[in-house]
Copies of this chain bind each other. A is one copy, B any other.
Amino acid sequence: MSTLYRIDSSVQGDKSVTREITDELERAWSAALPEGVVARRDLLSTPLSPAVWTHALAARGTEEPTQEQQSAAGLAAELASEVLAADALVIGAPLYNWGTSAHLKCWIDLLWTDPRFAPRTYPLAGKPIALVAARGGGASAGAPQEGWDHSVPYLLRTFGTDVFGGDVTLIETELTLADLSPAMAHLREQATDLRARSHELARETGEALAKLAA
């Protein structure tokens, strides 16, 4: 059975832009592949933590893990199995305070502790991955904060050919705070255009991932 695995990490719940776009991608995927399955993990409703990662790491370094360490290693194995079993991934990755979502970093760190994600094994080689990134301000070429997005480059490194080996499509939107911030009023039209383009790319990518999984 073909599976799309969807990870959300936004803390904005219903107001989340990344969820809006992963929704769009999921709809397109399901429409193109009605017999497919969508598996989900929402890091807002089922959060991970750096402490759990620490326990999972410790479990690997001992022959007599504590119950806490065993349970953390079990969770890491579950996360790794979910990812490996999927035909395609879609990852919602908002930028928070110019860095990677801590929810998402905990998830990635836990994956790394699983032996199936050992360094230089490219565990996601060839797997299609849609990375849905969003940021409140602007960090693209020419913006006053050009280069301040320190999350997307890290995520592309991790999920792309360098580390996990996936085949990543980046769906990126910015200026998501333009509608709320009076200081960004002059950017609203541009923000609307960017959002519409991300929706379009999400639809196209959802269809393309469905075709690959069919």
Interface residues of A (CB under 8 A from B): 11, 43-44, 47-51, 53-54, 57, 96-103, 105-106, 108-109, 112, 148, 150, 153-154, 157-158, 162-163
Contact = CB atoms under 8 A, between A and B. Distances in A.
A163 to B, nearest CB: 7
A114 to B, nearest CB: 12
A103 B103 CA distance: 11
A50 B51 contact: no
Given A43-B50, A148-B162, A99 B106 contact: no
A98 B47 CA distance: 22
A43 B50 CA distance: 9
Contacts of A105: 99-100, 102, 105
Contacts of A97: 108-109, 112, 158
A154 B152 CA distance: 12
A179 B198 CA distance: 47
A99 B162 CA distance: 14
19 contacts: A11-B57, A43-B50, A47-B50, A47-B51, A48-B50, A49-B49, A50-B101, A50-B102, A50-B103, A50-B106, A53-B102, A97-B109, A97-B112, A99-B108, A100-B100, A102-B109, A105-B105, A148-B157, A148-B162
